[in-house]
Structure 1
Amino acid sequence: MREGCRAGGGGRMECSWKTVLLLVCASLGVQYTAIRTLRDSLSGPCQGAYRCHSRRHGEPLSLCDDGWMSVESPRKHILVFATTRSGSSFTGQLLNQHPEVFYVFEPLYHVQQAFTNSSSRIRRTLDRRALLGAYRDLLLNLYTCDLHFMENYIRPEPQDHVTSSFFRRSSSHALCSPPVCSEEEAAASSDLPDESWCPKRCGALNLSLASMSCLSKRLVAVKTVRIP
């Protein structure tokens, strides 16, 4: 008996399983070809992302000519996640020495302190998921260079985006260098070995200037051991 489709009772079409499988494969092949064709037509002849740089009015514009400049790659994110006494501070300081790295030492400490210092009634309503959510939100904002978000957790609360209570600020070279700290103060204190000079010479931390410094770097590195 030849396999295929035939009319059944009640006007229904009955097909063998081999025919159904063949139709499914053919349909998938057509869809795959259509998707590939559409993707190739949208991507154009040049690879990567491009933006229009400049051209004179009325000039024809080719996608691959000099009028199109490659968009800079996004800022890289580094998370040093470790247990205590594991050498993570040393690893973080290696990253801190690079001039293109904006390094922050254990910023989640502020979240932990804010939750711990809450009243006992509030602490009972906070579960592990809420705490981890606060950690996640802070890391996300740090990686987008929004240091103002930390004002929700720094105690005492910063005034006009200025604080003297940033945890281990001196562990971050970027937070003790221009534009966060003036050229004169940073130069005068560059040879001091301990971490106490930064708040003494540079004064309170301006989080707006810290965000500007972060935006000027190609990498943002965060070291933490505070996640429970």
Structure 2
Amino acid sequence: MNMGPKIRIRFSQNSSEEFQRHHPGSLVAMESRHRAEVQRETGRAQNATGSVGRPDINLGATNDVIGSGLKQAKVLILAYYRSGSTLTGSFFNSLPGVFYTFEPLHAVFKNADRQRSLKYFSGKVRTAPKWEEISNLSLEILQAFYSCDLEALDWHTITSGFGAKSTAYAEYIGCLRSTPLNSNNRENVRRNCLPGLIQRCKSSKTIVVKTIRVHMTLAEELLKVIPDLKIVHLMRDPRGMACSLQRKQCRGSLANVNDMCARLTTDVLRRRALAHVHPESVCSVKYEDIIQTPLRTVMNMFKFLGLVFHSDVAKWIFYTLFSGHQSNGPLSITKSNSIATAYNWTRRIHWDVVDRYQQTCADFLREEHYPVFYDIVDVRKFRVTERNLTEQVLELQQFWSQKDGGDLAV
């Protein structure tokens, strides 16, 4: 079965040791230092595998208890803006028994930006968070979601409209909409709306949080306090993300390219160091793989997480990627041609954007095996191997019919 395009790598294929000798400041050199640091911190150093490439999704044995109702699984989707995180999160949201939370840190980041104080159900008021306090505050919020201690959250976080993007929040959002959201009604929300949401969280088989506001270093800290946490590192070609951000002309400001590339590179080396110590806790998934081979990629991701791949997920994959429904806009997850949409940036992007990202994100592009282009003609000629649409639909049909006897309407 075709797993996607064979990409031409235009960097030399030196061994990691040789590359490190000649490029001491490279990602490979930094990775070895960070790996040693993680091993010292945990005290659980393991032998290196001898390869430097990204850890593939582990298809080995999984914990059958997770996701089966005997133990609550906890998953963190660590992603980036315009990286396909909403689509990826929707696969979990379609899985029965999942308590899915969409961007729980949005409100606290907004409060920090606007310098608004944080108010709690207990009556406590915390002064407007400073940016240097955001990491610790984010850790507190995530712990509250994973422990279902939702009453401990600040008012803006627990009443964020982003809850409407999760089926688990449906009744709670309905309750909020029938209750004016002001300080006089906080007790009504706590008494009438919140208990049902907390019970839904506690009774769920799996708790999933999707966020673009967490760096891998913070995920490491979260893993220390939640040892059974599973981390999915979702990535996309940064040139595609940049083009998606600049939707009209795929050009514009390059002011954030240094920050984006630095975060991508740092997250990769931290993930690899973490995976050498806790291989069962972290995996990497590419948006491009989800688009090109969705059934296989999502099933493998679920297998790593120990989750049962339900027929509802197959139906959702079909609806969002293959049903032919038109997109409802640039932020919609439903695409009439998902592969064309994912690689549309190669038709629209300007060379100055490509060139800047290839220089600044060189380490990330090389280590994650993304193609590097010589000029704009090279970019325009880029093609991915599209699997036949009928073949993919039949694959989904086969899985669906085996599970519940239904057929996909093509």
TM score, norm. by length of structure 1: 0.48
Higher helix share: 2
TM score, norm. by length of structure 2: 0.28
Higher strand share: 1
- Structure number, greater radius of gyration: 1
